[in-house]
Amino acid sequence: MRMLINVPETVVADGLRGLAAAHPDLTVDVENRVIVRRDAPVAGQVALVSGGGSGHEPLHGGFVGPGMLSAACPGEVFTSPVPDQMARAAAAVDSGAGVLFIVKNYTGDVLNFDMAAELAEDEGVQVAKVLVNDDVAVTDSLYTAGRRGTGATLFVEKIAGAAAAEGQPLERVESIGRQVNENSRSFGVALSACTTPAKGSPTFELPDGELELGIGIHGEPGRERRPMMTSGEIADFAVNAIVEDMPPRNPVLALVNGMGATPLLELYGFNAEVQRALRERGVAVARTLVGNYVTSLDMAGASVTLCQADEELLRLWDAPVKTPALRWGM
Which of residues 175 and 231 has its CB atom nearest to a copy of itself in the complex?
231
Q: Closest separation between CB of residue 13 and a copy of itself, Å?
A: 8
Nearer to a copy of itself, 7 or 43 (CB): 7
The smaller minimum CB distance to a copy of itself, of residues 68 and 117, is found at 68
d(CA 137, CA 223): 6
**Nearest in space to 321 (alpha carbons), one of 25, 101, 22, 75:** 25
Distance CA 90, CA 50 (A): 10
> Residues interacting with a copy of itself, by CB under 8 A?
1-7, 10-12, 14-19, 21-22, 54-55, 57-58, 62, 77, 191-192, 208-209, 211, 228, 230-232, 234, 256, 260-273, 275, 285, 288-290, 292, 295, 297-298, 300-302, 322, 327-330
Assess whether 56 carries a catalytic annotation.
yes
Catalytic member of 117, 160, 218, 270: 218
Could you give the CA distance from residue 267 to residue 303 in angstroms, rounded to a whole number? Answer: 10
Closer by beta carbon to a copy of itself, 49 or else 234: 234
Contacting residues for 118 by C-beta, under 8 A, at least 6 apart: none
Question: Is 60 a residue of the active site?
Answer: no
Strand positions, DSSP E, the chain: 26-29, 34-37, 47-54, 71-77, 99-104, 127-132, 184-190, 210-213, 224-227, 252-258, 285-291, 301-308, 321-322, 327-328
Burial class (CB in 10 A: 0-12, 13-18, 19+), 13: middle
Task: Tell me the three state secondary structure of residue 202.
Answer: strand
Q: How far is the CB of 125 from a copy of itself (least distance, A)?
A: 29
Q: Which of these, 153, 156, 154, 26, lies nearest to 92 by C-alpha position? A: 26
> Which of 58/251 has CB closer to a copy of itself?
58
Residue in 23, 37, 56, 185 annotated catalytic: 56
Shortest Cβ 57–a copy of itself spacing (Å): 4
Q: How many CA atoms lie within 13 A of 167 on its CB side?
A: 2
Q: Are 67 and 48 in contact (CB under 8 A)?
A: no
Counting Cβ atoms within 10 Å, is residue 84 exposed (0-12), middle (13-18) or buried (19+)? middle
Which is closer to a copy of itself, CB of 118 or CB of 328? 328
* Cβ neighbours around 275 below 10 Å, total: 17
Q: Which is nearer to a copy of itself, 179 or 196 (CB)?
A: 196
- In whole angstroms, how close is the CB of 246 to a copy of itself at the nearest point? 21
Do you know the residue count of the chain?
330
Q: Is the dihedral of CA 93, 99, 105, 109 positive or negative?
A: positive
Nearest distance from residue 268's CB to a copy of itself, in Å?
4
Active site residues: 56, 218
